[in-house]
Structure 1
Amino acid sequence: MTPRPRPTITRRLLTALTTILAMAAVVVVNRPIVVLATDRYHEFAINRQSYKETFGHWSLLPVPAHFKINAIHAALLKTGKVLIIAGSGNNRQNFEAGTFRTIVWDPRTDGFTDVPTPTDLFCAGHTFLADGKLLVAGGTKSYEVLEKDITHAAGVMKIKNESPDFGARAFPKGTRLRADDGRVYVTRADVSVPAATKMWHGAQTMVHAGEAEVWVDAAEAGDGPIVKEPGQYSIEGLKGDDTRNLYGIAEKITRDKQEYGGDKTTYEFDPDTERYVRTGDLSKPRWYPTLATLAGGDILAVSGLDQFGRMIPGTNERYQVKKKKWVPAPSLRRTFPTYPALFLTRDERLFFSGSNAGYGSATEGRTPGLWDVKKNKFQPVYGLRDGSMTETSASVMLPPAQDQKVMIMGGGAVGDSPVSTARTAIADLDDPRPVWTAGPDLPNPTRYLSTVVLPDDTVFTSGGSSGYRGGPYRGRQRSDLLTAQIYDVRGNAFRKAASPSVGRNYHSEALLLPDGRVVTMGSDPIYDRSGKNPGVFEQRIEIYSPPYLFQKNRPVAPTGPSLVKRGEKASFATPDAARIASARLVRPSAVTHGTDVDQRSIALGVRPAPGGVTLSFPEKRGLVPAGWYMLFLMDGAGTPSPAKWVRVR
């Protein structure tokens, strides 16, 4: 019998391996050749079809130089484009120059466009509205000042107006206030102080002073003007009754570090015009807030730092979508650390997983639990291992959302602690008294982990670091983790995914694209690779293609209505109708600082129909908030189609 010729791919494999072994043999005389051989074999291995089918594949996105920005926020728009917001990008020079950046990337063409950015949206909050616009609220009004850079004592001065008779009183920037000992303090900004108000209690008239706050700096440098006790200050230049009715009060004036100050401006970003549209101001300036969608469609803003860098102590507010107006929500008083992860549940409560981005009390407001926003009642959820290490952790509502399970992954101790955890845990919110149960550990202790819900009911996790902002951890100078895993919800286990080439830690993002890929960007390490010099913001963008994209006969995207209603059915055409086994609605991401409260995957009922499928949409608004979603169809092997955009009402 004539021997059959070996396939060409086998000959190529043998040739490659022979070459690698031959090159490795010269290790003693030429070490760099061995490194080159190892790199070539790695490239060969990760580009094999069988490898991609099992582990997926990474690729770097070619970004033109002009569009390389510091990605602080990212959101997938209903147009399929990705909004990337830098604002000042954690760069003081940009802030002082008023240079704020936003770009839009189109994954279909890899085209980029600039978007005019009116204020510094660095560290704002955001979430999608039902019409597909992205609500962006807050941001940066002032940058932090470190203690070593503070030459003049400073503090917050409360200007009081005890006169109800002459309206508000305006004081320009540079107004001088004098202490009893003669020391002078100068206002940093213009300030308007409202008039006092009269209130009657029976026959007695009470006057409540109007007040406004403003930063002041000591006119004299050094420690002399430091004041550690509350005091009253007279305003220079006043005469007559004004000298008695108008004055300043400060709790303390110090040379302590000054935190970032929050802004109060808000916008709706319109995906169709790709422009920011100004809306009503926040009731309180906020930096590092979370915006959470309520079941009725309005938005709740919680937490953050105010304009003076102080934690906002449980004062929350509501965005009335129809009026485009923010109003205080005094009945919903609840304290959270900054960027708390809040998930809307089927019964219309908000679940706080404990995940947060850092600022706030080390104890108050960090307990996970279910918040009833109708009665302002909070039901704690206990049992979390490493419960003090929820800062910079990741949280995700596991797919499908009908199961009402939320998973927390990794995290670290409060502040810039080098301590982190590999712990994961799951809370079943359908349980009347939910508790945390242990999940499988991550491969490494991890902060800043990115989590992305995939349409096949798995969760892709990547990046992060074991140390604070990628810094030292257990003797290593840099602790970025060039690893990725896929969490199998049904099997309750992680499986290895292809490794990224770019490390990601603080200020990094990842989100699902309509074609089923995952884009990752950002990272703001505290040190460079030597561990001695300041870090440089990572501007490369890397894209992960999951294993399902390398399977044969992937279903095509469905066609059909772009508007569906909760609790009803709708038919969609597909040539793959005979093999469609499931369907998922995936809400697009709006992510920053590891916080993504928008993404969720909802299972739909599937029934065969002539030339396609009929899908049933759940009716509960807590499960399916109104808005735009990606609709994926899956075959029996779990291979998803590209998405079709649909709006749910």
Structure 2
Amino acid sequence: MPEQYRPRRRPSNKLRKTLMGGGAVVVLVGLNAPAAVSFAQEKYHAYKIAQPGYKRQFGSWSTLAVPEEYRTNAIHAALLHSGKVLIIAGSGNNQKKFDKGSFDTILWNPADDSFKKIPTPEDFFCSGHSQLPDGRLLVAGGTARYEVLDGKIDRAGGGMRVKNENPNKAHTFKKGTRFRSPSGVEYLSRFDVTVPKAKREFKVSYASSGRMLPWRTKVTAGEARVFVEAAQTGPQALTTQAAQYEILGLKGKDADDLYGLAQKITTEKQDFQGIKAAYEFDPRAEKYIPVDPMKEARWYPTLVTLEDGKVLAVSGLDDVGAVLTGDNELYDPKTKKWSKGPTRYFPTYPALFLTKGGKLFYSGSNAGYGPADKGREPGLWDVRTNTFTGIGGLTDLDQTETSASLMLPPVQDQRVMLLGGGGVGESSKATARTAVVDLKADNPAFQEGPKLPQGTRYLSSVLLPDDSVFTTGGSSDYRGRSASDILKAQFYDPKSNTFRRAADPTVGRNYHSEALLLPDGRVVTFGSDPLFDDADNTKLGTFEQRVEIYTPPYLQGDKAQEMRPKLGAGPQRAGANGRATFRTDHPEAIAKARLMRPSAVTHTTDVEQRSVDLTMEKGKGSLTVEVPKDRALVPPGWYMLFVTDAAGIPSEAKWIQVE
């Protein structure tokens, strides 16, 4: 039967408006297709990563709600044995704050997301830090003066060596002391400086007959350095000739015994300058406590804990902005004093790891400052004999600056991994190379590992309780230039030597960024200091103050907390035999136990974190763990004790002190 004809009904006004609106949308989509597609992709991505199945496979990110008054430029981050995180900014790469003497430290408690401002006595911007045996954090060095670039210097400046030939007393000169050149040009010191007294030596000599000759006295002048600037602008203050300088205001014998020596005073670029100050942060009192200052000023130093609990301070820019040539020093936490350490040159922020036998392994990772052809070779440094044995096999050796490196878990395996990195200085080079060296091998050498998704500088790498390594962030260019932040994360499995994907972060992290493991098994990321905020490099960068927290797959799911192994009551210190017993309802479900040393990280450098395999003894309702006795494997200090089940799900950490 043929279809009957029916007259078409006119659409209602409401329907016509809807259709017209829809047509408008179609037109707009046609005109703005790329934007619409991008918007749709973002919406779909947000939907996808919120799904439980995605989170169980890849983990998830969340942004920490930080009240405005506690937001800061995170330059350093350290986990304390109180479970709180110390976030140190100092002046935070902000010269206005430096000029005002406004320095920041924030204490964050992840247990309840509370915050506290800590009075900060020095500019700890670009200092070094290390965990001490009693749980305090040693913080040493920092900023005495910001850099001044070429073309912006209106007064000649340079280093002045101040000499003291008086063997009976030291002399302190205040900031603003005037030095006068032979031609009458005056220069002012930028800092206080104390010049030690001269050393007097008595030498005995003998005639050929054996008769003792009269004693001879040798006096070696005491010396200190200070940065000086010309009192007046103009070319008359420039000099490249070595000369002796009169110190104004001195009289009599002091005027003869004390004087300055300078090699050159110019208007060339002036680098950052370090300070000698050292403090211990007390997690119980929650304040900085001053200790004896270092012998050398240091900016960008590495502090590494040794097997006896002493701390070695290495490298840094000194008080006139020069890379220290190898003047390293030791801090004794018992006496609170510094002494001379083994001499060896490294670029600034070198990654040095304590290895079995007490030697330090230098991975080649560093954070800049220093010539490209000096101190870049990886190797083992015997600090007792001060000998260095190079280790080869590393590809892209010219791109170890801003690389990440860490001791793979467990530390007993003595394997070190290096990840990514870039060229020296402001180079645009970045490598996807990773490499692993087995220090237990007869002839250790780096072996190439799996490549990162792309060339990456400033990568953060964090050891997890399940023996995996979580890596995140970084950028493919120097300080995130050209909007080059990498919004990717991955896990490295040391057993299979492979990467697997993790959920993508939403906040970019490059220079001045940090990441560390929390006692609940999550990872927190801070900071980022890009040069520019746009792809065309026309808009000056903004320091990233958002804090992001990553929850790994092992903590995902409605029943994740129920499934976690649980440790009950137990001691806070390992016994003399290294053993500690904890109550637990299901010891049979525990597969591994790990001691995790808390991080103290800055500039992609974290030489503190390490994971130690513990032997276990299971009893009825209890678990006993035993800590290795070798303090080169387990330096004295506080550790997080995690246990994991067969699926790698970790407990929450128990804090335990190893003495």
Same structural fold, with TM-score higher than 0.5 when normalized by the shorter chain: yes
Does 2:366 match 1:356?
yes
Cα distance change of structure 1 residues 563 and 36 upon mapping to structure 2, 3 Å threshold: same
Within 5 Å, which residues of 2 pair with 1:415-564? 415-471=425-481, 477-529=482-534, 530-550=536-556, 552=560, 553-559=562-568, 560-564=570-574
Cα distance change of structure 1 residues 41 and 169 upon mapping to structure 2, 3 Å threshold: closer
Deviation at 1:240, TM superposition (A): 5.9
Deviation at 1:33, TM superposition (A): 4.7
State the secondary structure of the residue aligned to 2:56.
Answer: helix
Cα distance change of structure 1 residues 219 and 378 upon mapping to structure 2, 3 Å threshold: same
Aligned residue in 1 for 2:598: 588
Correspondent of 2:271 among 259, 268, 283 = 259
Q: Distance in 2 between matches of 1:313 and 1:581?
A: 48
Give the residue type in structure 2 aligned to 1:554.
M
Correspondent of 2:49 among 46, 54, 64 = 46
Please tell me whether Structure 1 or Structure 2 has the larger radius of gyration of its CA atoms.
2
Does 2:350 match 1:340?
yes
State the secondary structure of the residue aligned to 1:63.
Answer: coil
Q: Distance in 2 between matches of 1:579 and 1:335?
A: 49
Deviation at 1:190, TM superposition (A): 4.2
Q: CA RMSD in A?
A: 2.0
Deviation per CA, 1:512-556: give whole Å up to 9, x if none.
Answer: 011111000100001112411221100000011111111555224
Cα distance change of structure 1 residues 432 and 37 upon mapping to structure 2, 3 Å threshold: same
Aligned residue in 2 for 1:177: 179
Q: Distance in 1 between matches of 2:412 and 2:248?
A: 64
Q: Distance in 2 between matches of 1:584 and 1:34?
A: 47
Q: Is the 8 A contact 1:567 1:618 kept in 2?
A: no
Q: Distance in 2 between matches of 1:566 and 1:363?
A: 47
Aligned residue in 2 for 1:88: 91
Aligned residue in 2 for 1:622: 632
Cα distance change of structure 1 residues 189 and 648 upon mapping to structure 2, 3 Å threshold: closer
> Which sits farther off after the overlay, 306-315 or 173-182?
173-182
Cα distance change of structure 1 residues 175 and 293 upon mapping to structure 2, 3 Å threshold: closer
Aligned residue in 1 for 2:308: 296
Aligned residue in 2 for 1:579: 589
Deviation at 1:246, TM superposition (A): 3.6
Deviation per CA, 1:547-572: give whole Å up to 9, x if none.
Answer: 11115552243022221147533322
Deviation at 1:488, TM superposition (A): 0.9
Q: Distance in 2 between matches of 1:620 and 1:243?
A: 56
Q: Distance in 1 between matches of 2:120 and 2:249?
A: 40
Q: Distance in 2 between matches of 1:616 and 1:235?
A: 63
Output the TM-score relative to the length of structure 2: 0.90
Q: Is the 8 A contact 1:454 1:512 kept in 2?
A: yes
Q: Is the 8 A contact 1:261 1:287 kept in 2?
A: yes
Give the residue type in structure 1 aligned to 2:234.
G
Deviation per CA, 1:137-166: give whole Å up to 9, x if none.
Answer: 11111111122221111111223333446x
Cα distance change of structure 1 residues 633 and 191 upon mapping to structure 2, 3 Å threshold: closer
Q: Distance in 2 between matches of 1:355 and 1:99?
A: 31
Aligned residue in 2 for 1:381: 391
Q: Distance in 2 between matches of 1:186 and 1:30?
A: 62
Give the residue type in structure 2 aligned to 1:616.
E
Q: Distance in 1 between matches of 2:124 and 2:256?
A: 41
Give the residue type in structure 2 aligned to 1:134.
L
Aligned residue in 2 for 1:18: none
Deviation at 1:401, TM superposition (A): 0.9
Deviation per CA, 1:418-475: give whole Å up to 9, x if none.
Answer: 111111101101113211111111111011000000000100000000100001xxxx
Q: Distance in 2 between matches of 1:111 and 1:217?
A: 45
Question: How many residue pairs align between the two structures?
Answer: 619
Within 5 Å, which residues of 2 pair with 1:15-94? 27-28=29-30, 31=33, 32-94=35-97
Q: Distance in 1 between matches of 2:153 and 2:217?
A: 45
Cα distance change of structure 1 residues 231 and 554 upon mapping to structure 2, 3 Å threshold: same
Aligned residue in 2 for 1:13: none
State the secondary structure of the residue aligned to 1:93.
Answer: helix
State the secondary structure of the residue aligned to 2:591.
Answer: strand
State the secondary structure of the residue aligned to 1:418.
Answer: coil
Q: Distance in 2 between matches of 1:427 and 1:247?
A: 52
Deviation at 1:382, TM superposition (A): 0.9
State the secondary structure of the residue aligned to 1:42.
Answer: helix
Residue segments in structure 1 that go unaligned for 5+ positions in a row: 1-22, 472-476
Deviation per CA, 1:81-129: give whole Å up to 9, x if none.
Answer: 1110101101111111111111111111111111111111111110111
Aligned residue in 2 for 1:371: 381
Deviation at 1:273, TM superposition (A): 1.6
Give the residue type in structure 2 aligned to 1:55.
F
Q: Distance in 2 between matches of 1:151 and 1:38?
A: 52
Correspondent of 1:116 among 115, 119, 134 = 119
Give the residue type in structure 2 aligned to 1:121.
F
Q: Is the 8 A contact 1:229 1:252 kept in 2?
A: yes
Q: Distance in 2 between matches of 1:567 and 1:494?
A: 38
Percent identity of paired positions between Structure 1 and Structure 2: 54
Aligned residue in 2 for 1:129: 132
Q: Distance in 2 between matches of 1:478 and 1:582?
A: 42
Q: Distance in 2 between matches of 1:54 and 1:285?
A: 48
Aligned residue in 2 for 1:320: 332
Deviation at 1:334, TM superposition (A): 1.1
Q: Distance in 2 between matches of 1:186 and 1:581?
A: 66
Q: Is the 8 A contact 1:349 1:373 kept in 2?
A: yes
Correspondent of 1:141 among 140, 144, 148 = 144
Give the residue type in structure 2 aligned to 1:485.
Q
Deviation at 1:626, TM superposition (A): 1.6
Cα distance change of structure 1 residues 174 and 132 upon mapping to structure 2, 3 Å threshold: closer
Q: Is the 8 A contact 2:225 2:319 kept in 1?
A: no
Q: Distance in 1 between matches of 2:244 and 2:353?
A: 45
Q: Distance in 1 between matches of 2:378 and 2:79?
A: 28
Cα distance change of structure 1 residues 555 and 223 upon mapping to structure 2, 3 Å threshold: same
Deviation at 1:235, TM superposition (A): 3.6
Aligned residue in 2 for 1:233: 245
Q: Is the 8 A contact 2:565 2:644 kept in 1?
A: no
